[in-house]
Homo-oligomer: A and B are copies of this chain.
Amino acid sequence: MTSTISGADGVMGTKESARLLGEDPVAWRRELHRHPEPGFGEFRTACLIHDFLQERGFHVRIAEEAMSRSAIHYLDEARVAESAGRAVLSGVDERLVERMKAGGTAVVADIGPVSGPVVAFRFDMDGLPIEESESAEHLPFVEGFGSQYSGLMHACGHDGHVAMGLGLAAELARAKDGLNAGVRLIFQPAEEGTMGGAEAIVARGLVDDVRYMICCHLGLGLPTGAIVCRSNFLATSKYRVDFHGIEAHVTNDPQSGRSALLAAAAAALGLHGIAPHSEGWFSLNVGTLRAGEAVGITPARATAEFGFWAETSRVHDYLEGRAREVIVGSAKTWGVDVEQRLIGRAPASLQSETLAAIVAECASRTSGVTEVRESAAVKGGEDGNVFLKNVANRGGHGVYIGIGSDLKGNHHTANFDIDERSLRIGVGVLCDTCLQLQQTLGESLKQ
């Protein structure tokens, strides 16, 4: 059995933790699983990564060096502050936390040749606002590495992604001197909700020099041993809409009231009635609605959140245009004002068949891989697409690799759990591919 850092929860400094855990991805995954953190609140996770990479000779950027906060779409201040407090209590370096509170929780680390184009890998770090299962069927609970934080859980496998990233880092540290091209490891905050974690790193210029970009995800419905070279996610945007009506006594002065609640209700029905698009499938959902304070008062405030996921950029943009009409029109109908604010966004997949072919070849030789598929569709949005699109737009190559893992429970549910055997397979695929790519890149640079 793999041990986790036990005793007083994390009161040990993270440097000690890092040493204690060694380089076993399973141990790391369990340590991370115990401490899920919300999007943009990954302070403890980022500190662990920072310490691990710095110790192994990486050039590590954090906070304002690793991301540009102004590119963030949305951030829950309260949750982030709470997470920072929790991280400090858990024993991580308070100065690092202070820097990250100001500049963000991204960690971007380079190794190998310092100039010229690089090979980059993206790993996401955030957990989800889900209460983890305490069922006797749920391994993390049974084995004692369930979430220590109420209402937070690594229910999408990002703990495993970080663990694989550290596994790749350890391997690169060992191979450092023989690297022909630079390798960059990007640990991004806030993938869930696509709230701008990727955009913020891109905005700092950290993919400008990326020739090959690899994102990856565990699970996705693939069995342990299966590898998909190109996982096609949907384009997505999420919005918050605030309707501002006019409060009034509903018996003394109903005519002066303008109900934000009714405007939001009409908008919700209208958004769900947007006509289909012949180019591809989509799903739109008004997920939350909060309106009004009292039965006898015209509700003057309503807030709704909605998102949409589309097979193509054209369908995405069509939805965005129609949604705006619905929202503005519904507000007008009910005589209220409205503000619409982007809180999440990721483009459709833009991937490289060339790079996918390299991945396929590498993966087919990796130990533990039993099946390699060229591509697969995934019904969800992914912030990784932000990296892939930017790299492609500058002439680089990117793919989003799916790493099979027999799951217990679906993604984003309280019983979600990965098959830990998939972690070593993933590390293997990433290392094999990385070594191949830096070599290819190094050779091309010589010419």
Contacts and interface: CB of A to CB of B under 8 A. Distances in A.
Interface of A: 193, 234, 238, 249-255, 257, 259, 261-262, 264-270, 272-273, 275-299, 302, 305-307, 309, 315, 318, 322, 325-326, 328-335, 344, 379-381, 410, 412
Given A283-B251, A295-B305, A273 B269 contact: yes
A277 B256 CA distance: 8
B234 A251 contact: yes
A298 to B, nearest CB: 6
B251 A278 contact: yes
A15 to B, nearest CB: 36
Contacts of A273: 262, 269, 272-273
17 contacts: A193-B295, A234-B251, A250-B275, A250-B284, A252-B410, A254-B278, A261-B288, A269-B273, A276-B281, A276-B283, A285-B295, A288-B291, A290-B290, A290-B291, A296-B307, A325-B332, A330-B333
A384 B297 CA distance: 21
A281 B283 contact: no
Nearest to A413: B249
Contacts of A331: 329
Contacts of A270: 266, 269, 333-334
Nearest to A130: B294
B286 A262 contact: yes
Instruction: Give the most central of A253, A283, A307, A322: most B CB within 10 Å.
Output: A283
B295 A287 contact: yes
Copies in the complex: 4
Contacts of A265: 264-266, 268-269, 289
Contacts of A275: 250, 254-255, 257, 259, 272, 283, 298
Contact of A286 (B286, B292, B325): B292
A286 B334 CA distance: 14
Instruction: Give the most central of A234, A273, A334: most B CB within 10 Å.
Output: A273
A329 B325 contact: no
Contacts of A299: 286-289
Nearest to A412: B249
A281 B310 CA distance: 12
Contact of A329 (B254, B332, B381): B332
Rank and list the top 4 A-B pairs by shortest CB-CB distance, nearest first: A329-B333, A329-B332, A265-B265, A272-B273
Contact of A254 (B193, B238, B277): B277
Contacts of A379: 249, 251-252, 278
Nearest to A268: B265
Nearest to A273: B272
A272 B326 CA distance: 14
Contacts of A259: 272, 275, 285-286
Contacts of A261: 268, 286-289
A326 to B, nearest CB: 5
B285 A333 contact: no
Contacts of A283: 250-251, 254, 275-276
Contacts of A306: 295
A264 B252 CA distance: 26
B276 A255 contact: yes
Contacts of A297: 285, 287
Nearest to A298: B285
B344 A295 contact: yes
Nearest to A332: B329
A286 B260 CA distance: 11
